[in-house]
Structure 1
Amino acid sequence: MTSEPTHTEAIRVIGRFEAGRGIPDEMRADVRMLGALLGQVLQECGSPGLFEDVERLRLATIQAYEEESAEAFERAAGIADSFSVARADEVARAFTCYFHLVNLAEEHQRVRVLRQRAGQPGREDAADTVAAAYAQLRREVGEDEARRRLAELRFHPVFTAHPTEARRRAVSTSIRRLSDLLTQNDAASDDGAEQRRARRRMLEEVDTLWRTAPLRAQKPSPTDEVRTVMSVFDETLFTTVPHVYRRIDDALRGEDSGASEPVVPAFVRVGSWVGGDRDGNPFVTASVTREAAQIASDHVLRGLERALDRIGRTLTLDAEGTPPSAAVTALWDAFSSSHPDAAAEIAARSPEEPHRRVVLSFARRVADTRTGADGGYPAPEALLEDLRAVQHSLAAAGAKRHAFGGVQHLIWQVETYGFHLTELEVRQHSQVHRQALAELEAGGERSDQTVEVLEVFHAIAEIQRTYGLRAAGRYVVSFTQSAEDLANVHRLARHALGDDAPVLDVVPLFETFADLQAAPEILAEVVQFPEFRARMAETGNRLEVMLGYSDSSKDVGPVAANLALYEAQEKIALWAKESGIALTLFHGRGGALGRGGGPANSAILAQPPHSVDGRFKLTEQGEVIFARYGEPAIAMRHIDQVAAATLLASSPGVEERTSGAAERFAEVAHTMDAASRARFFELVKADGFAPWFATVTPMEEIGLLALGSRPARRGLSVESLEDLRAIPWVFAWTQARINLAGWFGLGTALDAVGDEALLAEAYREWPLLRTMIDNVAMSLAKTDERIARRYLALGDRDDLAQLVLDELTLTREWVIRLTGGDGLLQNKPILQRAVALRSPYVDALSLLQLRALRELRAAASGSGADEEQRRLLLLSVSGVAAGLQNTG
């Protein structure tokens, strides 16, 4: 083995590595500064020698990554194995902190670039903005049709509590404070004093991050998960979404924006499964669902109260120059009668300022709505009516910039969020419904589960009475396998409440390969049921259908699942179009590539004709929620991109391209489907595969990590894949640096086609294949064969291990050939940089995780050493999740 380099040599190696990643100068400066602050904290607060040990392992993994030599890799592994358990624990924490800081620096750079672009003329015309999509649509279909489609645009993210966010909320909060300090540091003057102050505070915050326990002491309750999601609304979404609308309106209308009625509708609707998704989660009860709705309403009403108060205080327009309309005068008179003391106080602060007075009175009425006092608004529609009265009054008096400026922002907020904030959705497994109905119709004693099933309908009815129909009403049926599964929801609602049953939009969730194939026939049957016909008549013949990405991928493999999903969408969309049904497809996409992850906008543009039609709904979960919506500038960019793709997906040009490519490459799809499925079954249907999988990945141990409130599996043990939820299936393969759920079978599928020229043409012209291959390239780039081999060696099935490695090699070869260059992601340089920057540091944590996993596999159960090794393992899981980012 080579001797360890000197400190000077080490600095040179690390500097050369970072410089070779193509990192922008500003970002490199941030990474170095934050890394130096962490190093200072480790020296000040860590045990003796910790900093030096961290640097030794960091240098060794960088050298192993750069040199790609077995000797360098063995040296890095030897360092990881040489630490005591206590030291390994500290080192794992240090690398995890480092990832949080690198992620922060990268996010800060994205924000920096977005702000620089915003200051450049013409950036609104970038290809992936709503303004550009609208311009293209207008060229293809004409002004009137483009305007109609824009008016009907809808983007509907649904936040879920699926357990893939490994960070504690305290850690996320500390990182957010650091983000603010980085911004202050950028804005600091050159005299040095402000920068020194900002860096001193950053050092204090990094110290806090280091001292904060990285693992949750216990699993969060569903209510904890509700409050975590609420933080995204409070800090970002509530104020950001109206700015998205305004930015698009500015781009479309130029100087006219803000001086007249906007052309951009409030097209975002936010849903939530947090507190409503009870499929396999016994901790989500009817009382939890009620509490979730109450918490969300409290947050939005407080937000509206603050916004009304803020905008109201700016309307210091005197009555002589801006006279109120009769409607505004009547609103003030009514408030003065119902709230004489509050009216007197407001009037004293707003003499001869009628518009200010009346908007401040709205704030008081919203406060009454929140507290349940007399005088509150009965529904958000009443507040919207009052705001529009103010808007019309201001416009009539000539104050158009106020009418369509701040007041319009308030209108957009109420239209988007109502008094409920999130549209809470209930989800339950079809089998639970069948069991409950069997008990009820047998007439015997009701089990606790059946009582709880019925109580959910009482909760939905109560939420609708309190917060309006939009607050709750969608009921998603997991594992829908027949029309009867959907009709059962209405039958149970009648058992619970008779004729007083709540208004329900029952949404089928087709998850397995067989269910996806059967979906069109099931839907054709279900729309004949009286309850469905009645509800569709009330909603303009609207129907929502959910597609499951994760279970279908676990069922037949990622390639066949993607092709099956496309075919199902194509057939469902055609059936809906022929039946005159306004279809919304709800995509159960996760953050990880094995669960339909990857860039949403490219996926939207690859959908079959008529399957989008200006409406896109998808699940957002775990770390993806905070990555996409946790920072205002990034949230605005993401929403603009997705909305642009949603608008453009139904343009004649895009639909013609996708349908033509699907038809032209149908035989390619057929060959890939059959070959990939056979290869996947060769692996997962092999005798003993499930216990082998649990041995060669930290699947069992992941269940011990306090990620979320829902159990990781449906049964007590993993004897088959059916026992295992899709999320830990993906999460475990990711932790083992194999990422099998994202790519396995693609190499065999492409090899079965064999014609490289044909496949290259398909990659260029077939959006579905291009999206699939680009996502697999990202998944493969985060795979590390050297580490994967060590995980696979934990099992005693060389045949299965070799099968995985052979498929990995074949898939990598084909992906590189089709994407170009001599390595992965060479056509995606920014993504390649992000992966390469993290990889050696993830390797360090993986080596620590492997060491702990080997000890746990070998040790007797229940020993003290087990607990120490288990903690090390869980720390490394959290760190790897932070390093790889899209983990489950």
Structure 2
Amino acid sequence: MPHASDSPDTTLEPIGAVLRTQVGREATEPMREDIRLLGTILGDTVREQNGDEVFDLVERARVEAFRVRRSEIDRADMAKMFDGVDVHRAIPVIRAFTHFALLANVAEDIHRERRRRIHEAAGKPPQDSRLAATYLKLDKAGLDADTVADALAGALVSPVITAHPTETRRRTVFDTQHRITELMRLRLRGHDTTPDGRDVEQELRRNILTLWQTALIRLSRLKIQDEIETGLRYYEAAFFEVIPQVNAEVRAALQDRWPGAGLLEEPIVRPGSWIGGDRDGNPNVTADVVRLATGSAAYTAFAHYFAEFAALEQELSMSARLVHITDDLAALADSCHEPARADEPYRRALRVAHARLTATAAQILDRQPEHELDLGMEPYPSPGELLDDLDVIDESLRAHGSAVLADDRLARLREAVRVFGFHLSGLDMRQNSDVHEEVVAEMLAWAGVHPDYTSLSEDERVEILAAELSTRRPLIGVDAELSELARKELDIVSAAARAVHVFGPQAVPNYIISMCQSVSDMLEAAIMLKEAGLLDVSSEHPYAPVGIVPLFETIDDLQRGSSILEAALDLPLYRRMVSARGDSQEVMLGYSDSNKDGGYLAANWALYRAELDLVESSRKTGIRLRLFHGRGGTVGRGGGPSYDAILAQPPGAVQGSLRITEQGEVIAAKYAEPRIAHRNLETLLAATLEATLLDVEGLGDEAEPAYAVLDDLAARAQRAYGELVHETPGFVEYFKASTPVSEIGALNIGSRPTSRKPTTSISDLRAIPWVLAWSQSRVMLPGWYGTGTAFEDWISEDESRLEVLQDLYRRWPFFSTVLSNMAQVLAKSDLGLAAHYSELVEDEDLRRRVFDKIADEHTRTIRMYKLITGQDDLLADNPSLARSVFNRFPYLEPLNHLQVELLRRYRSGDEDELVQRGILLTMSGLATALRNSG
């Protein structure tokens, strides 16, 4: 693995300039030292465990990869290394480079901490995306309390955890990586030994050996139960510690600035999940899975509370002979009749709360956590009563000089109960509108309302659905003879209703309608909720614990989204639903499918336009709009730096609230351990506060001309993209042959099928495999294709237009962010490797026809980026990614070559299980290395 001679002092365009400066070399040398250390230990481990022959192959691949980067050998020469390689030798090579990618992630994360410490120690102003910087901006703005209170009413920042096929790491790998991170953190602080006296480097060797001897992936196909477990592990790893802390910090900071304004009385950061509730195209989600997902989440919350109570009972040992207590605490403690603790009122009070929580768990959970305490007490009816008892303990401590004790574990537990309740996180339900239509049609026919609902016009559908929703009468009874699909769907919604009843309304906060294209699509979901007892708008006091959330995904749907929402709100019945939810309406925007539909620039602009229109709709109708951004990790699915992305939203689009999907390896990169989780949540909060309270668009009165420019550019980009993806004969065949998209579905990757329907259409393919496949082959097509042609054609009609784009790049966060994110993708792409993948296409004419188009557009897009931004370096504005690309990308090279070799064998009929496993390992390794590949 890495040698000292590999330190990046050779030329790599277009990012080499960033690192060739002396300042850059000095700044990054500690990171390169960390990479060398971890790589050397990994190399030693490979040699010791697998012998010199495997080590030599790994080492030769490493050396040759760097020779490719330095243009000393042709890439084809390196590919020949693996022609016909014995799969038994290939697997450890793949594992070696995959492990190195994982360890390089650790080194980069540690380096970011190092740079932040240096920055802070130098006394420099806080950096953008830090809350400290945000507070300075808010102070400078001189905002009044009423403005802030109104803007932050109902404030919410919610990362929503979703399943992803590239996050296949097992818990053992996850935990070992965390231990390695902690050891590297000790080295960062200058420690050679652990707190218990063990040698840090020896511990690194021990943990890297454990990593090497642990299988990275499961042999069996990932089940949805595994995905539920994977999503929940982030709570113990980071969320339980960090989310209560962040909520307390930001609330205190804002209340100090605007006392008496009642800011953030509810926690602003509240996590969500899709795992186990998202059944759009996933037949594996059933009523039992919904019960498992909601029950497991609640179990995780209770297990945390029980452990905290056990610890608090040890810590708060104060004697009534030595301290004073309030009357309320005495009354609470008196419910515990334990003579041995007669003079320990705090312990007795805690045991009362602990025992009542145990009774609650026995009542609502399917399994019981450790640290139960059964004293025969009554359960808590809701988290509010538990919090009341904890507040009694807190008030007594503070009233008698023990605030320092109240501010420790007890404060964290109180904050945890406020945010996690009995439910832990909100599980969103999601289903495709086509399924709702089919099920509701069957229900209406069974009930004798209409024999053929699907034959009706939109107006007729709305009339029938509104009439049904205005009554309490159910459409079907328990004896109704329904299809398997209808029964399954209704059972799932009933399971959601059970979770709301048992764990509280926050357990299932939203029902999302995929491919929502009409008002009837929204009302069909309402019928499903009504049938399960989750909606009643027939009375004076409507009941609507679950919000109906339209998801606008294609470019056409995004353009019509505001008109659909306004038409729904024009219905008195739907308006009552929204009123029952505090006049708040959530709308989800689909970044992935809009990109797949129309390409990068067209999708980004359609999203911006949709947000502008929705903001205007919310103003006209008097509702409070909350946008839910269905972003993936990669730029092609709406990814990129979160801070910049949020600030690039149009005026009024944030309104104090932000929900955002977090997926796959991106979750691990952001939330796998407390410090990194704190930093990423802080980023979301900082951007949300700034976008809500400050003018960040920067266009002023010149907005409309800028919008007109993007209207024109987006239309051109969509035409160029459509000409390749939707109109080029054989494009689907090329895509399937030149990427591992087919293998994503055929191998044991994720619980969800790669397509919504059993077709070969691009439109039916899920966005994750679409983007993941192009990422694996290093084309990264969804993150840039069509943009270069749009810019070039527009500028060619009038040379002065270049200055217009240059001005927009300087002044408009949206435009600069779109270009910056595109540049990141282009920097991660590699058309040399993509050409190697194209050789998997047997039709030579098709191969050349499609690949040449891709290569030409790639060159054109880079040229136009440099022309508009004035930057010769694609990553001039992102030095951390520049370091990453420069230091780690040569180590991706062997993974790509081995993936092509194994794909060729697999497709030629080689059924060796190791060949399939090798392909999966290369996918996992590349996803880990790219960090936001899907």
* Pairwise same-fold verdict (TM > 0.5): yes
Corresponding residue SS for 1:591: coil
Matched with 1:817 is 867
Matched with 1:731 is 772
For the structure 1 residues 11 and 463, does the alpha-carbon distance in structure 2 shift closer, same or farther, using more than 3 Å as the test?
A: closer
CA distance in 2, matches of 1:254, 1:118: 23
For the structure 1 residues 15 and 575, does the alpha-carbon distance in structure 2 shift closer, same or farther, using more than 3 Å as the test?
A: closer
CA distance in 2, matches of 1:127, 1:97: 33
Matched with 2:433 is 430
For the structure 1 residues 436 and 344, does the alpha-carbon distance in structure 2 shift closer, same or farther, using more than 3 Å as the test?
A: farther
Matched with 2:522 is 486
Matched with 2:359 is 368
Residue identity in the other structure for 1:854: R
Is contact 1:306–1:363 with CA below 8 Å preserved after alignment?
A: no
Q: 2:717 aligns with which of 655, 662, 676?
A: 676
Matched with 1:268 is 269
Cα distance, 1:198 vs structure 2 = 2.6
For the structure 1 residues 173 and 660, does the alpha-carbon distance in structure 2 shift closer, same or farther, using more than 3 Å as the test?
A: farther
Deviations 1:2-26 (A, max 9, x none): xxxxx99x86356756996846333
Corresponding residue SS for 1:609: coil
Corresponding residue SS for 2:746: coil
CA distance in 1, matches of 2:530, 2:725: 42
Is contact 1:151–1:264 with CA below 8 Å preserved after alignment?
A: no
Residue identity in the other structure for 2:888: R
Structure 1: which 5+ runs fail to align?
1-6
Cα distance, 1:699 vs structure 2 = 0.7
Corresponding residue SS for 1:654: coil
**1:442-591 matches, cutoff 5 A:** 442-443=445-446, 445-497=481-533, 503-529=545-571, 531-591=573-633
Cα distance, 1:557 vs structure 2 = 0.6
Farther-moved stretch of structure 1 (521-530 vs 390-399): 390-399
Cα distance, 1:697 vs structure 2 = 0.9
Is contact 1:513–1:555 with CA below 8 Å preserved after alignment?
A: yes
C-alpha RMSD over aligned residues: 3.0
CA distance in 2, matches of 1:484, 1:256: 44
Cα distance, 1:845 vs structure 2 = 1.0
Q: 1:791 aligns with which of 837, 845, 851?
A: 837
Farther-moved stretch of structure 1 (848-857 vs 287-296): 848-857
Is contact 1:266–1:416 with CA below 8 Å preserved after alignment?
A: yes
Matched with 1:54 is 58
CA distance in 2, matches of 1:369, 1:653: 47
Farther-moved stretch of structure 1 (320-329 vs 44-53): 320-329
**1:146-295 matches, cutoff 5 A:** 148=149, 149=151, 152-186=154-188, 189=191, 197-248=199-250, 266-295=267-296
Matched with 2:900 is 850
Is contact 1:566–1:607 with CA below 8 Å preserved after alignment?
A: yes
Cα distance, 1:114 vs structure 2 = 4.4
What is the TM-score with the length of structure 1 in the denominator?
0.91
Structure 2 residue 851 is matched with structure 1 residue 801: yes
Cα distance, 1:330 vs structure 2 = 2.1
Deviations 1:373-397 (A, max 9, x none): 7522111011122222333333333
Corresponding residue SS for 2:898: helix
For the structure 1 residues 785 and 80, does the alpha-carbon distance in structure 2 shift closer, same or farther, using more than 3 Å as the test?
A: same
Cα distance, 1:228 vs structure 2 = 0.9
CA distance in 2, matches of 1:303, 1:288: 22
Structure 2 residue 821 is matched with structure 1 residue 775: yes
Farther-moved stretch of structure 1 (639-648 vs 792-801): 792-801
Is contact 1:161–1:273 with CA below 8 Å preserved after alignment?
A: yes
CA distance in 1, matches of 2:237, 2:580: 36
Cα distance, 1:497 vs structure 2 = 4.8
Corresponding residue SS for 1:274: coil
Aligned pair count reads 860
Is contact 1:819–1:827 with CA below 8 Å preserved after alignment?
A: no
Matched with 2:98 is 96
Deviations 1:557-594 (A, max 9, x none): 11100000000010001110221101100000010111
Is contact 1:110–1:634 with CA below 8 Å preserved after alignment?
A: no
Deviations 1:724-745 (A, max 9, x none): 1111000000001000011111
Matched with 2:348 is 357
Matched with 2:635 is 593
For the structure 1 residues 193 and 527, does the alpha-carbon distance in structure 2 shift closer, same or farther, using more than 3 Å as the test?
A: closer
Corresponding residue SS for 2:763: helix
Matched with 1:12 is 5
Cα distance, 1:283 vs structure 2 = 0.7
CA distance in 2, matches of 1:461, 1:265: 24
Is contact 2:192–2:200 with CA below 8 Å preserved after alignment?
A: no
Corresponding residue SS for 1:665: helix
Structure 2 residue 38 is matched with structure 1 residue 34: yes
Structure 2 residue 304 is matched with structure 1 residue 303: yes
- Identify, as 1 or 2, the structure richer in helix: 1
Matched with 2:921 is 875
Residue identity in the other structure for 2:130: T
For the structure 1 residues 660 and 749, does the alpha-carbon distance in structure 2 shift closer, same or farther, using more than 3 Å as the test?
A: farther
For the structure 1 residues 499 and 516, does the alpha-carbon distance in structure 2 shift closer, same or farther, using more than 3 Å as the test?
A: closer
CA distance in 1, matches of 2:871, 2:666: 30
CA distance in 1, matches of 2:352, 2:524: 47
CA distance in 2, matches of 1:670, 1:490: 35
Aligned-residue sequence identity (percent) comes to: 36
Cα distance, 1:813 vs structure 2 = 1.2
Structure 2 residue 49 is matched with structure 1 residue 45: yes
Cα distance, 1:42 vs structure 2 = 1.1
Matched with 1:749 is 790
CA distance in 2, matches of 1:16, 1:210: 30
Corresponding residue SS for 2:275: coil
Cα distance, 1:668 vs structure 2 = 2.0
Deviations 1:732-780 (A, max 9, x none): 0000100001111111122123233221111111111111111111101
Matched with 2:367 is none
Cα distance, 1:534 vs structure 2 = 2.8
Is contact 2:596–2:763 with CA below 8 Å preserved after alignment?
A: no
Matched with 2:755 is 713
Corresponding residue SS for 2:511: strand
Farther-moved stretch of structure 1 (297-306 vs 15-24): 15-24
Cα distance, 1:432 vs structure 2 = 0.7
Cα distance, 1:245 vs structure 2 = 3.4
Is contact 1:271–1:423 with CA below 8 Å preserved after alignment?
A: yes
Corresponding residue SS for 1:49: helix
For the structure 1 residues 105 and 263, does the alpha-carbon distance in structure 2 shift closer, same or farther, using more than 3 Å as the test?
A: same
Cα distance, 1:370 vs structure 2 = 2.0
Corresponding residue SS for 1:269: coil
Structure 2 residue 131 is matched with structure 1 residue 140: no
Cα distance, 1:93 vs structure 2 = 1.4
Farther-moved stretch of structure 1 (592-601 vs 208-217): 208-217
For the structure 1 residues 286 and 670, does the alpha-carbon distance in structure 2 shift closer, same or farther, using more than 3 Å as the test?
A: same
Q: 2:735 aligns with which of 678, 686, 693?
A: 693
Deviations 1:787-834 (A, max 9, x none): 112222333312221111111001111223334442320232221111
Structure 2 residue 657 is matched with structure 1 residue 615: yes
Corresponding residue SS for 1:387: helix
CA distance in 2, matches of 1:544, 1:400: 40
Deviations 1:151-196 (A, max 9, x none): 6532111111132324333322221222233334556756899887
Deviations 1:426-479 (A, max 9, x none): 111111111112222222841111101111222122111111111114111111
**1:111-122 matches, cutoff 5 A:** 111-114=113-116
Corresponding residue SS for 2:285: coil
CA distance in 1, matches of 2:396, 2:195: 50
CA distance in 2, matches of 1:659, 1:603: 19
For the structure 1 residues 460 and 344, does the alpha-carbon distance in structure 2 shift closer, same or farther, using more than 3 Å as the test?
A: farther
Matched with 1:24 is 28
Corresponding residue SS for 1:805: helix
Corresponding residue SS for 1:823: coil
Structure 2: which 5+ runs fail to align?
12-18, 364-373, 447-479, 537-542, 796-800
